[in-house]
Structure 1
Amino acid sequence: MTVAAADTLTWTGPPEVAPRGTLVVLPGRGEHPGIYERFGRRIAVDGYRVTAVADPVADAGRAASLVAAALDGAPGPHVLVGSDTGALLAAALVADGRVPADALVLAGLPAGPPGAPEPDGEVAARTACPTHAARIAAPDGVRAGALAEPVPDGWLERADPARIGVPVLGLHGAADAVAPLDAARAWYARVPLAELVAVTGGRHDALNDATHRTAAASVVLFLERLRLGADLPLIARVTR
C-alpha cells in the first residue's frame, strides 16, 4: 500500500505480515519521494515500513522534522536510509544525536571531492538501469543539473563518522563518478561499526541502479541482522 502526504510517501507491507521495523529515506540532490517507490515497495514486502521524505537540500530543517514525525511511535528498529546528500544528512542527524536511530543505510555517500557530470550525462552518471533512467528523465523525475550543485556547506563536517555510534551499511557503486568510491571507503573506515558493499560497475544511484535487487537484498539482510542485535550477528555464512 502507498500512502501519499504533502512531502512524504509511505509503503507498508501486507496486513498479514507483522511490522519488523521502520525505514525513513532521505533523497539526494534534485530527487523527491516518488523516486524511491521501487525500493520502498520491495522492502515493505518483507514487513518493514518505509517512508521517503522530501529532498533535504531544499529544506534541511523541514526534512529533519519529517524524519522525526515518521519515526514517532513507529515499530522499531528505526533506520535512516540516505542517498547522495541525503546520506550525509542522515549520518549528521545521528552523529549530532538529533535523531535516535538504531542504524544507518547510506548509498552513494559524497565523502570527497565531487565529480559533477555534464548536464547531458547526468542520467547516465546516476544509473545503468533503463527503467530507473526513464523514471528520472521524465518530466516529473529528478531536477536537471542537481548533481552539479555543491554539497551544502557543513554537511560533510557534521557527518563525522567517528561520532556515529550505530551500525552502518554502506552501498556504493564501484564506478560512481559523482562520489568516487575511494573517498567513501576512507569515510566508512572511520565509523566504529560499518560494512561497505561496493557494487561492481555500479553508478551513483546505488539503491536504484541496475543492481537494485542486490541492493535491496543487502539491505534486508542487514535489517534482519540488526533485529538480532546492534553487533549485527551473522545469520548465514558462505562456505566452500
Structure 2
Amino acid sequence: MSKQTIALVTGANKGIGYEIAAGLGMTVGVGARDPRRGEEAAAKLRAAGVDAFFVPLDVTDDESVAAAAKVFEERFGRLDVLVNNAAIAGGWPDAPSTATPEGIRAVVETNVIGVVRVTNAMLPLLNRSARPRIVNLSSHVASLTLQSAQDLGGVSGTYSPSKTFLNAITVQYAKELENIKVNGACPGYVATDLNGFQGTDTPADGARIAIRLATLPDDGPTGGLFDHSGPVPW
C-alpha cells in the first residue's frame, strides 16, 4: 500500500499502538484521549518521517468518536485502514469470583463496545476505500482453546473474557462486511503498561502482526485470529 493510504490507530500515543502507527507506512491518524500525549506522539512520528496527525479520540464517548469520523470525512473523504488498538486491562489476575459488575462493565466498554462504536462510525468512510482493512487487537488469552490447554498467566474474569467477546464480534463483522477484510491480531506478551511492563517482547515486536493484517493483499484472509506464526485457534 502506498503512503497515501489513510489509517486510524486508536490508543496510538504509546506502546503497541504507537509502533503500529510508526510501521504502517501510511498517512496515519494517532487516536488518543489525552491531547498532550497525542500531540507529542504525532510530533515524534513526524520527526521520524511518518505522515502522522493527532486525532482526539475517546472510544467510550459517542461524541468524541463522531468528531473523529468527521476529521477523516473532511480531510480525506475516506478511511482505508482502521486498527482498533485501544484497550484497558482492569485487574490481573482477576478471578471471576471476585470480579465486580462495575469492573467488568468498564473493561467491556473500552475493549468491546468501544471497538463497535469506532468501527460503526468509520464504516461509511471505509466503504469508500478500494482496499479497506480492519484489525482488532486481541490476545492469546482470548483463545478459549489455548486457555483450556495451558496456563496463560493466571485466572482472568474480566480482561480475557472481554477479548474473547471481541473475537466473537470480529468474526461477525467479517461475515457481514464482505468488502472489508476484518481480522484479529495477537501481539504476544509485550512489555506495556497494560501488564506493568512485564512482557518479554517489545512494542515494535507486538506491532508486526497488526501491520501485516492492515496491509493484507486482496487474496488475504478475513475473519481470522493471527499472531506472528500464523493462525491462532479461537
- Output the TM-score relative to the length of structure 2: 0.43
